[in-house]
Structure 1
Amino acid sequence: MNAVVELKSDGSLTVDENSKLTASGNKDKDGKPVDKIDINGGTLDNKGAITGEIVTTAPAGSHTVKVVVNGQVIDIQTVTNNSPFTLPAAPAGGNFQGWYDGTTVHAAGATVTITADVTFTASWYTSGGGGGGGSSSYSISVDKNIDNGSVTVSPKSASSGRTVTITVKADEGYELDELTVTDKNGDEIELTDKGDGRYTFKMPRSKVTIEASFVEIDHQDTCPAADFRDVDEDAWYHEAVDYALDNGLMSGVSDREFAPGSTLTRAMVAQMLYSLEGKPAAGSADFADVAEGAWYADAISWAAGEGIVSGYGDTFGPNDPITREQLAAILYRYAQNEGYKTSQSGKGTEGYLDASSISSYAVKAMDWAVNAGLLSGKGNNTLAPTAGATRAEVAQIFMNFCKDIAK
């Protein structure tokens, strides 16, 4: 059975936080006062009987969402904070533009995240002619001849002063070159870059046209280390890292990290020299800890066969950190093997406080490396011969070696 709650002039209709509907201040059919009428577990289907504002109070952590069409509240819901709310389909009547929340016009059926009390009001498109009874809405058109990317706009028409959002997405290997919005007179409208490919503008009192162009990314204008977030553009080793990457001597530890401060291993240094030599044919590594098929096996086999590296007896220690004196000795032997000049004038390691701590096998190599400008002090007038060499330091040393020694 359907029931009608008729409110008298002094009556009231209340919806509490538990969605309980209460009508009060009424009389029964005999004219006797009725304190209140409780309607529990039902829904309010407003067919226009209630023309005033319906006030609700949402519980803590929730928000009240109203939907209004032509001044009538057609739906009220309590939505938990940061929860999605799906807008209704377009109401009947034609010329429906969207659901306006006071800032943005949303399409029918769109999902909106609710973060505050909000009222969505049906917005209707009007031509702007006399007697329209509403603000004019102007068309927003996007050039259909856009290649190598896409441009979308929301809303697709808007009244003057409304904020319009443009979303730009370039195809892989391309980037946005130019984005323009012009009014009916061809005058350009100012855009605000919101980041992540989103731009906004204020709608003028005319239709607008959006045009965009995309260009292929020129990787020659981008330094090889640009993709690594841990290589500062102003770092002392930036040029050396670029050189090592560009010449295939080194690669990152991941797609986004180079790890300039990490220590290089003995296997990595052998691999760098192997790459510098053009990766020639190599025999089998004669070390117990160098497994056949390991990524560094060919490099160590070649370097050991040429007398450039040596091991610790029957082991090589491929994962041991390379020390500064080991690196100097390896480069010294490689330079001799290639016939490069290995006699430079200078004091070498003389005068450094820790020169006496250099291993006997590396003394001549350290003198050469210091005189050649490959190694320098580590502060406090020390060379730190047994300290590990970082990836940034090795990149710098190899760049200096290639430019100054391997001529």
Structure 2
Amino acid sequence: MLPGNERTKPPLAARASAALALAALAACLACLVLARPALASPSYSDVGERGWYGGPHGCVAYVSERGFMTGYEGTDLFGPDDPVTRAQAVTAIYRAVAGDPEGLTTDPSSYSGIADESGFSDTRGGEYCTAAVNWAAAKGVARGSGGLFRPDDPVTREELMAMMYRSVDGYWPYGFAEPDVAPRTLLDEDAVSEWAVPYLVWGNKFVIYGYPALRWSAYLMPQKQATRAEAAKMLKRFDMGNLWFLRNGYPSES
């Protein structure tokens, strides 16, 4: 809990209940009111109607229509089972949170002139991810280690959850993105890194809901490399709940 907020926050139980209700309401409203115009849904030859991520209402279609994630340039492939890299992850989150209205991560004529201001020694300007990495570094969304961002390294599920949490941390008026909100029971909770516990507690309650390939799974698999399909699933839930309220406002507490 942040200093000075003790008098303004309702009790923990009330905040947790309000958070769950708001997340459910956001999921319903987001289906009816889109905050951004949807783009044409691309047809990926490696997605189609496949499994939990395919189809017109699947998570891959959702993030593609909104421009959060795209397929591989010059192909009709999305790469659902490929690992998502750290550069891809911060770019997708940047597009979801900041909107990228000027095409700074999609239009080569726009991003080719962007300088690297991230402070990391292994990133450079003029890349599709430059604006996103600059933003992530400035906002503390991605912190790197030893002065390195490691843009091409695969991101783990717990690292991806941490990035999402940090991108909205401080915006919530109800304070429920906190480590004191109890998570659902997980069979692999001991595998969560110590530093990632606050992020995964929040994420498991509002974004991840276990491992998607195992329906109603009690496994989080925090150390597993996140696939592009898994990232799409997390981004869809992240957008339909958390980001909907950031764009459309919060109902007042009674």
Cα pair 1:347 1:367 within 8 Å, conserved: yes
The C-alpha deviation readout for 1:221-251, integer Å capped at 9, x for no partner, is x97142x111122532122111111111111
Task: State the TM-score, normalized to the length of structure 1.
Answer: 0.42
Per the TM alignment, residue 269 of structure 1 is displaced from its structure 2 partner at its CA by 0.9
Question: Which of 183, 194, 203 pairs up with 1:360?
Answer: 194
Q: Which has the higher strand share?
A: 1
Name 1:289's counterpart in structure 2.
122
Partner residue, 1:384: 221
The structure with the larger Rg is 1
- Residue of structure 2 equivalent to 1:230: 46
| Aligned residue identity for 1:400 | R
- Aligned partners of 1:335 and 1:341 also within 8 Å: no
Counterparts of 1:287 and 1:330 in 2: how far apart (Å)?
Answer: 17
Give 2:76's match in structure 1, choosing from 249, 256, 262.
256
Give a deviation string over 1:172-215, Cα, whole Å, max 9, x none.
Answer: xxxxxxxxxxxxxxxxxxxxxxxxxxxxxxxxxxxxxxxxxxxx
Tell me the residue number matched to 2:158. 325
DSSP 3-state at the match of 1:224 = coil
> Residue 279 of structure 1 aligns to a residue in which SS?
coil
Query: CA shift at 1:362, angstroms?
Result: 0.9
Q: Secondary structure at the match of 2:169?
A: helix
Query: In the aligned structure 1, how far is the partner of 2:129 from the partner of 2:51?
Result: 29
Distance 1:237-1:404 versus aligned 2 partners, 3 A rule: same
More relative contact order in 1 or in 2 (CA 8 Å, sep 6+)?
2
5+ long unaligned stretches in structure 1 = 1-221
Q: 1:230 to 1:341 in 2, by over 3 A?
A: farther
The structure that is helix-richer by fraction is 2
Identity of aligned residues (%): 29
Q: Does the alignment pair 1:243 with 2:62?
A: yes
Note the C-alpha offset of 1:257: 1.0
Q: Which residue of 1 aligns with 2:29?
A: none
Q: CA deviation at 1:405?
A: 1.2
SS of the equivalent of 1:286 reads coil
Cα root mean square deviation, aligned: 2.6
1:315 match: 148
CA distance in 2, matches of 1:298, 1:223: 24
SS at match of 1:273: helix
Distance 1:235 1:370 in 2: 22
Q: Is 1:259–1:391's contact at 8 Å kept on the other side of the alignment?
A: yes
Gaps of 5+ in 2: 1-38, 105-113, 246-254
C-alpha distance in structure 2 between counterparts of 1:340 and 1:330, whole Å: 19
Q: Cα gap change, 1:285/1:223 in structure 2, threshold over 3 Å: closer, same or farther?
A: closer
Alpha-carbon distance, 1:355 to partner? 1.1
289 and 329 in structure 1: CA distance in 2 versus 1, 3 angstrom threshold: same
Report how far residue 317 of structure 1 moved. 0.6
